[in-house]
Structure 1
Amino acid sequence: MRRLTDHRVFRPLPFAIISAGAFLCASANAQTPGNWPLDRQVDEAFQQVMRAPADMEAGLNYARLLVQDGNYEGGIAAMERLLLDPAAHPAVRVELAVLYYRLASYSMSEALLRQALDDNRLTGEQRTAAENLLRDVSKRNQVSQFDGVLVFGVRAQTNPAARSDRDTVLSGGLPLAVAAPFKPKSDTDLQATLRLDHRYDLGTQNEAAVVSSLVAQVIKYSSSSGSRLSASQADPYNLALVEVTSGIRFKPSATGAPGLTLRPHLIVGTLSAQGHKYLDSYGVGLDAGYLINERTVIDAGYEYRNFDYASRIDVPNANLLGGPDNLFRVRLTRELSPGTALSGELRARFHRTDRDYYDYDGYEGRLTYAFSYANPFVANGGAWTTSIWGGVHQRHYQAADPSVDPTRKRRDTEWRIGIGNTVALSTAWSLLIQVEHMDTDANLPNFRNKNSSLFGAAAYRF
């Protein structure tokens, strides 16, 4: 069963940071030819600073090029030197605050932003960006931090029930014509998703905090109504999901490995279909993250869940479907430039039940490229973020299912590609649109299917 979560791996920086950082490199090449290699531009900018130490523009150019080259600490040092001049423009403090934000030094970032906003010379877009970033930083500096997102959307799909696209399937190894009600059928659904996150800082030297999250999602298909169940359900299920995780995130060695964080946690979830309980799940997990440098982060995780299916007329042998599920994942994210990132993720899942022909091992690879940019149609209209993703997922079942084909084990290869765009309307509201296509190639015709989807939604972040 597919989890009802967003599969994208890139979460863009808040618009406040993108806006504040937009002018970070705006004049980085003002005093050095832009067609030079970046390391040569940095060297030349340094020489200009040495020739004219009091030249504020030369100092800014050098600091911005260091940041563009990924040397955030060097850029911070260069900007702090500029602030020794009492006449330094407050925009320098905003740029420096952005860099401290990137390094998770939120207290320093907040102090710089407040100083910049107290200066009347900070006006226009720079003041707006500073105010937006200050709201974000102030929240992060609180002992108890709460945020979340609510998404309302509509989705159109060509084959939401994942029905076979073949005219005949197998039953006990023999060909069987597919009846009309069980052929691929398009449908539209309305959905609402709520995610709430809470962090409580324990005030310890290892930055320990209790981190909890709640995810709730409801999906209502236009072709499905009522709550009556049948043994041969033809229409897709209306679904309702609730899952809660909670655990302590900390740095096991704040001095020896400051970039490493761990979060052991508990997992509890339930899923209902057509208004009736479908399954319960519970388990434990461990999340790990490691900041390799200012632009590269690796995160990994392990989750153990036990699935318990409810006895229903539409779920044959429900007592045989439940069992343990083990998921391993690792993801590497690299910021290619401010507002642009590339992520690669690998997953391995091992699902076990009381019957070996329900057991499978799954292996998945995903790649996502995402970039943020200013609204191309409206000046000062907020940021847009475009994401392009693709992936492949293979499932290998442990034994042949006699009800399908007693001589062949099931093998599936699922290909997925998509593109999405997020339009920021304000610091709280945004619009989302996604197009995705999925093609499942299986060695058994029963499980060969295709599905294309178009999803549009409005999101509110609080």
Structure 2
Amino acid sequence: MLAMNFFCGPFFNCVGYTKRDLRAFVVMLFCMLLGPVSLANAQELTVNEQYDAAFLEMYEDVGNLDKTFRFAELAIAVGDLEGAVAALERMLIIEPDLPQVRMQLGTLYFQLASYAMALTYLNAVVAHDEVPDDVKQSAQDLITQIDALTSPHRFNGTVVAGVRYQSNANGGPMTQNIRLFGGSAVLDEEYTHQSDWDVSLAGQFNYVYDFETEPSMTLETGVSAYSSWQDTQSQVDTTLFELQVGPRVIFTPKPGTALDLRPYAVVNDMALGGKDSFEGIGAGLDLA
């Protein structure tokens, strides 16, 4: 006996289908869904195949700059930056006056974190008389980034400001009647809970100097500061300050292991209501 199923819906007329028809319909849906994935894989393979073909063409005609540059473009596309560098440098051997190639080499060496080589090519681009101004600016921007990355001085900081309302800014009791030394007492109203607004400012600043030695040694300085100013309850104005300074040494006894040693000195100060309430000096050791 032949089994029959029926589809009824807003986009279909009620038509009878066999199980074989339904299986064919499901297979067709899977093909439609998987088609884009297969197409993407095919395109990826096509780029790799073009890369391989371009290498063979360049190898067979090493003096052809167009073929060499085409291979370099495809090498970058597939992630072979070293191969692109080798091809572009071979172009400069054949034709040294190619500032666009030097710009590309400077960019590739920057991506490879080979900053000394990148600077060599980028400085040549900036010094070339026939290079357009926008290209020179791009080269100069990369030079600026390299200077920042390779400088022994590193600085960073964060500043945060805020405004706050407190229903009990002075931390006073809710009533004037209190217990004091076992007896009853009455506070002046000014010492009970008082609402107020305050403005606060906080900052964290860090400076690191890299001695560029082996083992790695740096001098680290950190400053933290916080201040808040009340509108009327000035007796609870608060100022905090802390300074930490000390060297950091990182030992690498063997690959994959490291010993991070950081001794430091610390100085801190706290003022409440404009008067010093705490001062401290000490030392510490971070070990990781």
| TM-score normalised by the chain length of structure 2 | 0.55
1:237–1:222 CA distance, 2 compared to 1 (3 A): closer
Deviations 1:154-175 (CA, angstroms, capped at 9, x unpaired): 335688x9xxxxxxxxxxxxxx
Partners of 1:63 and 1:79 within 8 A in 2: no
AA aligned opposite 1:41: V
Percent sequence identity over aligned pairs? 17
State the 1:200 CA deviation.
1.5
Would you tell me which structure has more helix in proportion to its own residues?
2
**Superposed CA RMSD:** 4.6
SS in structure 2 of the partner of residue 264 of structure 1: strand
Greater RCO structure (CA 8 Å; 6+ sep) = 1
Match of 1:273 among 270, 274, 285: 270
The equivalent residue for 2:201 is: 190
Pick from 77, 85, 93: which aligns with 2:102?
93
Paired residue secondary structure (1:238): strand
CA distance in 2, matches of 1:186, 1:246: 41
Read off the aligned partner of 2:243 and give its amino acid letter.
V
Distance in 1 between the 2:280 and 2:232 partners?
Answer: 20
Which residue type is aligned with residue 195 of structure 1? Answer: N
Aligned-residue offset at 1:211: 0.8
The reply on whether 1:63 has 2:72 as its aligned counterpart is: no
Q: Report what 1:47 is aligned to.
A: 53
**Which of 123, 127, 151 is residue 136 of structure 2 equivalent to?**
127
Is the alpha carbon distance of 1:251 and 1:136 closer, same or farther for their aligned partners in structure 2, counting shifts above 3 Å?
A: farther
Deviation (angstroms), 1:111:
2.1
Is contact 1:242-1:270 (8 Å) kept?
A: yes
Amino acid at match of 1:62: L
Give, in whole Å, the separation in 2 of the partners of 1:276 and 1:116.
60
| 2: CA distance, partners of 1:237 / 1:37 | 64
Q: Deviations over 1:228-270 (max 9, x none)?
A: 6xxxxxx6843222222312346545xxx4x876542223333
Structure 1 residue 198: Cα displacement: 0.7
Q: Which residue of 2 aligns with 1:217?
A: 224
Which residue number in structure 1 is paired with residue 245 of structure 2?
A: 244
Structure 2 unaligned segments of length 5 or more: list them. 1-38, 59-63, 169-191
Shift of 1:62: 1.7
The AA in structure 2 aligned to 1:61 is E
Secondary structure at 1:215 match in 2: strand
**Residues 216 and 50 of structure 1: CA distance in aligned 2, closer, same or farther (over 3 Å):** same
In structure 2, the residue matched to 1:23 is: none
CA distance in 2, matches of 1:252, 1:186: 55
Shift of 1:79: 4.1
Q: Describe the superposition over 1:118-173 as per-residue Cα deviations: whole angstroms up to 9, x where unpaired.
A: 3234333332232233245356667xx224245555335688x9xxxxxxxxxxxx
Q: Size of the alignment, in residue pairs?
A: 221
In 2, Cα distance between the equivalents of 1:36 and 1:156?
A: 59
How far apart in 2 are the matches of 1:49 and 1:38?
17
Of the three residues 162, 165, 175, the one matched with 1:155 is: 162
State how far apart, in whole Å, the 1-side matches of 2:141 and 2:121 are. Answer: 14
Change in Cα spacing, 1:188 to 1:103, as seen in structure 2 (3 Å) is farther
Q: CA deviation at 1:63?
A: 3.4
3-state SS in 2 of match to 1:58 = helix
Q: Which of the pair is proportionally richer in strand?
A: 1
TM score, norm. by length of structure 1: 0.37
| AA at the equivalent of 1:199 | D
CA distance in 1, matches of 2:263, 2:223: 17
Q: Which residue of 2 aligns with 1:436?
A: none
The match for 1:117 among 105, 119, 126 is 126
Amino acid at match of 1:283: G
Task: State the alpha-carbon separation in 2 of the partners of residues 146 and 131 from structure 1.
Answer: 20
CA spacing shift, 1:188–1:107, aligned 2, 3 Å: same
Alpha-carbon spacing, 1:221–1:119, altered in 2? closer, same or farther (3 Å): same
Please give the residue correspondences for 1:425-440 in structure 2 after superposition, counting only pairs within 5 Å.
Answer: none
Partner of 2:182: none
Q: Determine helix, strand or coil for the equivalent of 2:95.
A: coil
Residue in structure 2 matched with residue 376 of structure 1 by the alignment? none
Q: Are 2:250 and 2:260, in contact at CA under 8 Å, matched by a contact in 1?
A: yes
Q: Give CA deviations for 1:340-398 in whole Å, capped at 9, x if unaligned.
A: xxxxxxxxxxxxxxxxxxxxxxxxxxxxxxxxxxxxxxxxxxxxxxxxxxxxxxxxxxx
Give ranges in structure 1 of 5+ residues lacking alignment: 1-32, 162-179, 229-234, 287-301, 303-462
Larger Rg: 2
Residue identity in the other structure for 2:77? L
Indicate the SS of the match to 2:128. coil
What is the alpha-carbon distance in structure 1 between the residues aligned to residue 251 and residue 88 of structure 2? Answer: 31
Q: Distance in 2 between matches of 1:260 and 1:85?
A: 46
Q: Distance in 2 between matches of 1:46 and 1:158?
A: 68
Q: Give distance in 2, aligned partners of 1:118 and 1:62.
A: 29
For residues 90-136 of structure 1, give each alpha carbon's deviation from its aligned partner in whole angstroms, at most 9, with x where no partner exists. Answer: 34434433443444433222222223323234333332232233245
CA contact 1:201–1:209 (8 Å) conserved in 2: yes
Matched residue, 1:344: none
